Amino acid sequence: MIRETHHVSLPRYGERVNGDAVVVRDEGSTALLSVVDALGHGVKAADVARRATEELLAVPLSQGPLFIIDRLHEKLRRSRGAAALICIVKRDPSGNAVGIETCSVGNVAMRCQSSKPPFMLTPGVIGARVRAPRVLEGSLVEGDRIVLFSDGISPRFSLDDFRVMSPFEVCQAIIGQHRRHQDDATVLVADLEANHGT
């Protein structure tokens, strides 16, 4: 399903710990791509990110992104809360199509290189207040590139500028050119397989 991934996640300048987190799980015909951005920064934010990571590593992907957001919401109650973007990428049983389901709360964003799946940011804070998050479904192109990033990254970049780069190189370029130093900053790049089984 996922051919290659890379991510970079850095704390705000002056901090030793990071309130952002990335979890990637590839389970054959289904994969999870997720970025969590705890409110604020420092030790308390890092604790929220750790708790979110534990939940994302354990939750069953078969239940879908809304279930995962709900589980995160319960896990992070009585914490400072977080923003998060959950992407479930699935290959249909025929092996001929790749779909994506997204559910987002807060300001973690997503872009795709070759596809334009529907995407919407839901206002709110996971663990505190969430306004009925929606799951949006769409399709992806074989071999597509998916990029998730927290608000510590300026959105003023074009994936076309990085088309020939590897995920590692794309992460380095985006962090190097578009990082906002006053916040934790995270970018995740995932390239899908070009063909089933390759």
Domain for residue 197, yes or no? no
* Alpha carbons 183 and 108: distance in angstroms, whole number: 13
Domain for residue 174, yes or no? yes
Which DSSP string corresponds to the chain? Answer: -EEEEEEEEEPPTT-SS-SEEEEEEE-SSEEEEEEEEESS-SHHHHHHHHHHHHHHHHS-GGG-HHHHHHHHHHHTTTS--EEEEEEEEEE-TTSS-EEEEEEEESS-EEEESS------PBPEEBTTEE-----EEEEE-TT-EEEEE-TTB-S---GGGGTTS-HHHHHHHHHHHHB-TTS-EEEEEEEEPSSTT-
Domain for residue 22, yes or no? yes
pLDDT at 107: 93
pLDDT at 197: 46
- Burial of 73 by CB count in 10 Å (0-12 exposed, 13-18 middle, 19+ buried)? buried
Verdict on whether the full-model pTM lies above 0.85: yes
Domain for residue 87, yes or no? yes
pLDDT at 130: 86
Task: Give me the tens of pLDDT residue by residue for the chain, a chain 198 residues long.
Answer: 899 999 999 999 999 999 999 999 999 889 999 999 999 999 999 999 999 999 999 999 999 999 999 999 999 999 999 999 999 999 887 767 799 999 999 999 999 999 998 888 889 999 998 888 999 999 999 999 999 999 999 999 999 999 999 999 999 999 999 999 999 999 999 999 986 544
Chain segment 51-68, per-residue pLDDT in tens: 999 999 999 999 999 999
CB atoms within 10 A of CB 187: 28
Two tokens, residue 114 = 């070759």
Question: Count of domains in the chain?
Answer: 1
Domain extent at residue 186: 2-192
Domain for residue 25, yes or no? yes
Domain for residue 198, yes or no? no
pLDDT at 3: 95
Mean of pLDDT over the chain: 94
Task: Tell which residue, 152, 1, 196, has the closest CA to residue 89.
Answer: 1
Residues 111/159, Cβ–Cβ less than 8 Å? yes
Paired sense of beta strands 109-112 and 124-125, if any: unpaired
CATH number for position 104 = 3.60.40.10
